Structure 1
Amino acid sequence: MMNIKEAASRLGISARAIRFYEEKGLILPAKQSSNGYRTYTENDIWRLQTIAALREIGMSLQDITHALGEIDQGNQQRLEEYLELQQAVMYAQWIELKRMMETTQRMIDLNRQDGPLDVSHLHDLADSARRLREARQNWHDRWNYDTQAAIHDQRVQAEGRVSTEHPNSEGRYHSNDTVQSSFYLYHNYDEALEQTAHWISPALGEKGLDIGTGTGNLAGKLLQHGADMTAIDQSREMLRRCRTKYPEMHVKLGNFLALPFADHSFDFVVSSFAFHHLSPDQQILALQEMQRVLTSRGRIGLTDLMFVDAAHRESYIRQAETTGHQEQLNALRERHFPLLGELCSWLEQQGYVTKHVRHNELLHTLLAVPLR
């Protein structure tokens, strides 16, 4: 047993901080009956150490409360999710700081050029940086994939039949009926994933990252090819199902716009049926993030619904409007199917050679391999 001064000295924190944590209900030390003074046991000290460690990495008091509850219940998986979420936040902040430093350096370079400075160039740089920052911050899961995790594998194998399930007031799905649909995201699903795995063709032990993995179907195929796979997704429920299917896979919370990994961590990056959830500005940020985490010879494999070019998109929209296919029109409003030609051009400007194959009217697999 020790008093608050002794506890503070042992932990290297202030007595005021300990009282603050007590006020927030994070720790409940016993009180002496004779004088009402608090006494701290070894378990209290351990709990305070845990709180201090979680505060050190920037976790909010609310999240610390939840994390301590999971620790008390012995739920290591939920605690890991809280830590991963905090790590993702820190990576996002780090990436944003890097972008700010790069923009500042470009402003310095402009100022050093001979001749009078055109201040409008500084304004353009600042505006561009602002738009990219907002693009990174404004992404959210409009489709609530946590509620879809239980039926995801069923949906991707439906081959033209989609669930008529609709969320009730609690966001839960309540029907297992299926109906023929005029618009279906997953035609030729297995063929496209097999093509991606074939083109990536990982060597034994190569490190790969699958972004927006869902329940891990693409990552699982690459795992079978001998790759050391890491899979990330923003949906906890999707990742739980992925862990159950592939316990040997590294699974982590994260998203396209701030990949929670160090630079040059992977030999290849893949993604399937997820890239179109990003806006055009966010898609560029996602490609830059892929480049950041890839080795110098790292390759990119994207399988997704894409238009070949702007003319293809306009023709598709006109046809949907003429035939009254509301599902197609809704999909175009809710998602951002990229232009294949623009993707290839951007990647080639970054030093990649690209190739692609078409699986159906919209679904393509794209491979990008660096020339160097």
Structure 2
Amino acid sequence: MKINELARKLGISARTIRFYEQNGLLPGVEREDNRYRVFSDEDVWRLQTIIALREAGMTVKDIREVLESESAQHTVTDRERLRYYLELQQALLAGQWLEMRRMAETTSQMLELLQKEQELPLQEFFELAQQARQLRELRQHWRDHWNFDQRASEHDQQVHTDRAAYPGYNEVLTHTATSVRAAQGERGLDLGTGTGNLAGKLLAQGAHMAGIDQSREMLKQCRSKFPALDVRVGNLLSIPYDDRSFDFVVSSFAFRYLAEPELPLALTEIRRVLKPHGRICISDIMPDEASASVSSPIIVLQNWLEQHDYMLQRTSPYAGVFTLLAVPIRPSSSR
């Protein structure tokens, strides 16, 4: 396609397309002998992704960095590149949907407050708005600070050699998969699935497994090992699946990367995608009860789960590692 036809199909101006090209977001656009630009199918997919990211508020600089990291993979096929563009859009749309839903819930809370109070409850309005802003910022500012894409090719070797970061790795994964007691045909989700080692154990038990990870390269390794696993780009604060999709959610060695304010948001997301009787099983390095402070991850997790009517079982499959199994006492009508 030439530029005017492409602009018409995408509902943007030719000037906008030129702007993206000049800023390095559409490198290498071919030109005919008469110097007219000719856009390939890949250019169209790339441009559609750029538009989606811009509509979500992402800066040109950040988009360039995201797309440059993809272009650096010289061996990717057209199919892999298209998957990457679609996964970016899927993760983005999931985040936007969650944000719109949260805004609608906050507005409903404000209307309820207004109906109950004789006077305008400005302080309550302010607190609700503050909470909404904090949640939005937590989701929007999530970044991969740990270079998981660079570590993906060595991950499966590292988990067995780096005992400080992954103590008792295989024992912990086996214990987690056993603890959740997946029944044949149940649907489960592995958060921070990495190369899919925990999800693979549950697939072997007969569960239908999905997984999310923020690292595209980890997911490439995962797909090659477990083709039956449904994997998507995402993170624990913005899970790209519908409400009530899963019978159980598991996670191993992933919650350590969450800051304290992010833990309740991650648990709220888990609860959203679980069916009413759905169970949760989380394994990670956590301080024991004797040395844990009130802000320790395990204490924050336990308190939140107990406050939301979960019955807890805590075990230690390996020294320094704890597994929390949470089963709802009764199904929640708020899910």
TM-score range, shorter chain: 0.7 to 0.9
Q: Does 1:203 align with 2:183?
A: yes
Per-residue deviation at 1:19? Answer: 7.4
* RMSD between aligned residues: 3.6
Supply the distance in 2 between the matched residues of 1:74 and 1:286 (Cα, whole angstroms).
34
> 1:213-263 deviations in whole A, cap 9, x for unaligned?
122111111011111111211122222222222222222211101111122
Counterpart residue number, 1:123: 126
Q: Could you tell me how far apart the structure 1 residues matched to 2:2 and 2:201 are? A: 57
Gaps of 5+ in 2: 55-59
AA aligned opposite 2:242: A
Match of 2:57 in 1: none
TM-score by length of 1: 0.72
Where do residues 14-163 of structure 1 align in structure 2 (5 Å cutoff)? Answer: 16=14, 20=18, 27-28=29-30, 30=32, 50=45, 54=49, 57-58=52-53, 74-158=77-161
1:33-53 deviations in whole A, cap 9, x for unaligned? Answer: xxx8x597xxx5867865675
Structure with bigger gyration radius: 1
The alpha-carbon distance between structure 1 residues 363 and 109, as it changes in their structure 2 partners (threshold 3 A), is same
1:224 counterpart letter in structure 2 = A
Residue correspondence of structure 1 range 1-372 to structure 2 within 5 A: 7=5, 11=9, 16=14, 20=18, 27-28=29-30, 30=32, 50=45, 54=49, 57-58=52-53, 74-158=77-161, 184-309=164-289, 311-313=290-292, 338-340=297-299, 342-370=300-328, 371-372=330-331
Aligned length: 318
Q: Tell me: CA distance 1:65–1:157, structure 2 relative to 1, closer, same or farther (3 Å).
A: closer
Provide the rounded CA distance (Å) in 2 between the counterparts of 1:185 and 1:48.
41
User: How many Å separate the matches in 2 of 1:107 and 1:351?
Assistant: 26
Distance 1:235 1:348, change over 3 A: same
SS in 2 for 1:369: strand
Cα distance, 1:28 vs structure 2: 4.0
Moved more, 190-199 or 272-281: 190-199
Deviates more, 1:194-203 or 1:353-362: 353-362
The answer as to whether partners of 2:219 and 2:231 remain within 8 angstroms in 1 is: yes
Q: Secondary structure at the match of 2:297?
A: coil
8 A contact 1:215–1:241 mirrored in 2: yes
Query: Which deviations, in whole Å up to 9, do the C-alpha atoms of 1:10-68 show, x marking residues without a partner?
Result: 95857846974896567545356xxx8x597xxx5867865675566456785789989
Task: Give 2:307's aligned amino acid.
Answer: Q
1:325 match: none
Q: Tell me the CA shift for residue 115 of structure 1.
A: 3.2
8 Å CA contact 2:53, 2:89 repeated in 1 = yes
Q: 1:8 to 1:271 in 2, by over 3 A?
A: closer
Task: From the superposition, tell whether residues 289 and 3 of structure 1 become closer, same or farther in structure 2 (CA, over 3 Å).
Answer: closer
Q: Distance in 2 between matches of 1:185 and 1:139?
A: 22
